[in-house]
Amino acid sequence: MSTVGLPRNPLKVSLAAPADAGLAAAWSSPQPDPIATLATSLPGQTQIIAIYGKGGIGKSFTLANLSYMLAQQGRKVLLLGCDPKSDTTTLLFGGRACPTIIETSARKKAAGEQVEIGDVCFKRDGVFAMELGGPEVGRGCGGRGIIHGFEILERLGFHDWDFDYVLLDFLGDVVCGGFGLPIARDLCQKVVVVGANDLQSLYVANNVCSAVEYFRRLGGNVGVAGMVINKDDGTGEAQRFADAVGIPVLATIPANDEIRRKSASYQIVGRPGDTWAPLFAELANNLALATPLHPTPMGGEALLGLFSGQGAGQDIVMEPATPADMRGQVPAPKPSLEVIYDES
């Protein structure tokens, strides 16, 4: 098997006390940390890569085609959906929903049965695919669902699996601890952000870069491999963002009607021999060679400045409000209740 990868870095974050206090409640058990077990137990040349981006930006589209191309290049790939929508693998399987690990586990437990790998992991043309799943809306914490899903993976023997690539699809515009696990717990070596030429997707990409740098300062080892620009319309904001934070653009996927139509009908466009195959082959090669980098996140005004050419209110003056503005009249002075002692 061809293994193009990075040696795994040892965990530097304390297992008993997570670096981020927001994760402490989820890791209150004194038992060995299953996430740390996953992070340190796969073969040393396995590349574990977490992909983040705003909801609807095209992470699942990008990952389905990337994983398919990697498999056609002879790599052994596990595509793992970590989004409660459970749609990461839908394109790969032609529109069919993959049974989720969390839902299957609950059903099997109620029946007094154990989850088997064949219940939750399915294959297509060399790509192995699974969905963690999550709670129904309003019925639980999505981040806690991610943690529970990885605990089940550990019981299924994740530490014995042999892959060249494990690709994790994470929702980027949720900031709770569970969705930050790959970064906070060194579960992956690299992070890739998917964005477009719009403020919201670049805001999410910037937040992910900030999270990477935060945990780096606490002893983490995860770096940003680069950015995939999706639905590129040529206006250039995403490229300027990548240049500003110091990460490379791994691939640029154009805003193309053929791509949109094929994706909407659950067709792989990264199939060898197709029009768009060279694009995804280039992405696969760039991803394999990308070095985990320390990004320099942008400030809020600088991020807005990427769009200054579109007249984003650059000449507006922010005028401070006064108490009179809030009440509609000049407030009458109130006597103070403060006790003042005579110095004598």
CATH of the domain at 30: 3.40.50.300
- The three-point CA angle 143-137-27 to 5° equals 20
Which uninterrupted H or E stretch holds 257?
Answer: helix 257-264
List the catalytic residues. Answer: 54, 59, 85, 173
Q: Residue 336 falls within a domain, yes or no?
A: no
CA distance 186 to 223: 10
Q: Name the residue with higher pLDDT: 151 or 342.
A: 151
Report percent pLDDT > 70 for the chain: 78
Cα separation, 151 vs 144, in Å, equals 11
Does any domain span residue 333?
no
Task: Find the range with the poorest average confidence among 18-22, 101-105, 320-324.
Answer: 18-22
84 pLDDT above the threshold of 80: no
* The predicted structure's pLDDT at residue 187: 79
Q: Is residue 227 in some structural domain?
A: yes
Residue whose structure tokens are 């996430």: 35
Q: Would you state the pLDDT for residue 213?
A: 92
Contact 36, 30 (CB under 8 A): no
Q: Which domain holds residue 189?
A: 21-327
> Is residue 50 scored above 80 in pLDDT?
yes
Confidence of residue 142 (pLDDT cuts 50, 70, 90): low
Q: Comparing C-alpha atoms, which of 42, 173, 166, 149 is closest to residue 99?
A: 149
Write down the pLDDT at residue 230: 96
Structural domain contains residue 103: yes
Structural domain count, the chain? 1
Nearby residues of 29 by Cβ (< 8 Å), 6 or more positions away: none
Say which range, 87-101, 145-159, 257-271, 281-295, has the weakest mean pLDDT.
Answer: 145-159
Q: What is the pLDDT of residue 140?
A: 59
Residue 332 within a domain = no
Determine the 3-state secondary structure of 320 from DSSP: coil
| pLDDT, position 32 | 39
The tokens for 197 are 């030429």
Q: 265-307 pLDDT, tens per residue?
A: 999 998 888 999 999 999 999 999 999 999 999 998 898 888 8
Amino acid identity of residue 306, one-letter, is L
Asked if pLDDT for residue 36 goes beyond 80, the answer is no
Say if 46 falls within a structural domain: yes
The rounded distance, in Å, linking the Cα atoms of 224 and 327 is 49
Whole-number percent of the chain with pLDDT over 90: 42
For position 180, what pLDDT does the model report?
Answer: 78
Asked whether residue 200 is assigned to any structural domain, the reply reads yes
- Using the predicted structure, report yes or no on whether residue 39 has a pLDDT greater than 80: no
Residues recorded for the chain: 344
Q: What is the pLDDT of residues 237-251, one digit of tens each?
A: 999 999 999 999 999
Are 147 and 36 spatial neighbours (Cβ–Cβ below 8 Å)?
no
Mean pLDDT (the chain) is: 80
Residue 11 has pLDDT above 60, yes or no: no
pLDDT tens-digit series, residues 217-226: 988 889 999 9
